[in-house]
Structures are given as structure tokens and as C-alpha cells.
A and B are shown apart, each in its own frame.
Chain A
């Protein structure tokens, strides 16, 4: 399954709402879909798993949604620390998984 994220780059102001898309090449169980945030020089950090379940310690301005082939990560009100690269991930029926190519969220 290939995950395609859009847009490649999203330029927004702090305080605005961000909507990031992840589209799968075939239907994916929402239980298999996760989102990660990565800042330059750092390892990724889990934000959302099971498409909509926030990981421990993740602020509630982050929310995930979607089903089938279309999934969305929404950041309701951007904080300066939210500008980073976001990647979606899907697991298969075993311990194999794949990532989307990432969306860079940059300050406008």
C-alpha cells in the first residue's frame, strides 16, 4: 500500500488551522493508521495512532480522522513549536509498515 501525503509543503501563520492529508492506494483499516511529527535533527514523535487516538502527552489541538483511503491530521491552532514535518504510517497485517513521503509545515 502506497501512502501519498498532500500538500508537500504547507505555509501557514501561527494561530491558523492546519489540515494535512494522507491518501492510501487501497483501503486501509483506520486501526492501522498513525501520524508522526519530526523536527530537524530529531527522531520522529508519535502523535496519533488508530487514525484518531492521541498518543500520551499530545496536546488536544492535534486530531486525526478518516477512514478507507483518506485520512487527515488537523492542528486546530498552530503554535510555533508545531512547524515540522508530518508523516503518516500504515501497518499491514504483520509487522510490516510503510510511511507517506511527509508534509513540511512551515511558518509563513
Chain B
């Protein structure tokens, strides 16, 4: 069974940092691009960051660029999100997401085919 298990969330003060982890199982982690998606209380889904299978390419939403860092350890099947300079507006449930892909010549197209259950980050003094 494909599973994503997030951890590392909690209550943190503005300006501090947190590191989220996502333990993956049930699929070949090193072959899949991965993402983090967040959802503020009562709000819609917001893409945060993505990383390609070998970790060489990373992408960030403008709202977190320069503050958050996505990384992965393919030897340990784990995805990370380092969150620095936390702000109140970073308060959200953070979901780890596996990107599925389908081929339509001449390229691959992506979607999120597996979601974790989420970990809650609260930024407040």
C-alpha cells in the first residue's frame, strides 16, 4: 500500500524554524517527483514546493521562496521541508504529495495521485 506519513508540525513562534518530514512507503520513492501542499484554516489548497526525483530541481511558490527549502533522501525514502523565518500566515495543515505522471507525446503530465494525512503547523507568539 502506498503511504505518506508526515511529521514535524507543531506550534512555533514567528521568526523561528521547523523541519517537516514525510516518510514514503509502498512505491519506488526515487522515481517520483514530490511536493508539499498546504491548507490554511478554512481556506483552499495552496501549492508550496516541488522537487524532481533525483532532487536536482526544486520549485517554490512566491509566498515561501527564500524561506523554505525542499529536499529529499532517496536512500531513506524521506521528503523534507525546512521552514525558516516563519510567519503567522504560514499557519496551515501541510500535506506531503506524490506526483503521478502520464505520457502524452511528447511529454509527461503530472497530477497528485497520493496525499499524506497532513501535519499541522501553527505560527503564533
Specify whether A and B are partners: yes
Residues of chain A touching chain B, judged by Cβ–Cβ distance below 8 Å, are 29, 31-32, 34, 36, 38, 43-46, 49-50, 53, 55, 87, 89, 91, 94-102
Which residues of the other chain, A, contact B112 by a CB distance below 8 angstroms?
A: 34, 36, 44, 46, 89
The residue of chain B having its C-beta at the shortest distance from the C-beta of A44 within the complex is: B115
Given contacts A43-B115, A43-B116, A87-B45, 10 further A-B pairs with CB under 8 A are A32-B109, A34-B112, A44-B115, A49-B100, A49-B102, A49-B111, A50-B104, A91-B110, A95-B57, A95-B99
- In angstroms, Cα B44 to Cα A46, docked, is 15
Which residues of the other chain, A, contact B57 by a CB distance below 8 angstroms?
A: 94-95
Q: Which of B16-24, B47-55, B72-80, B82-90 contacts A (4 or more CB under 8 A)?
A: B47-55
B111 touches A95 (CB 8 A): no
B16 CB, min distance to chain A CBs, angstroms: 26
B14 CB, min distance to chain A CBs, angstroms: 26
Given contacts A31-B104, A43-B115, contact A96 B110 (CB under 8 A): no
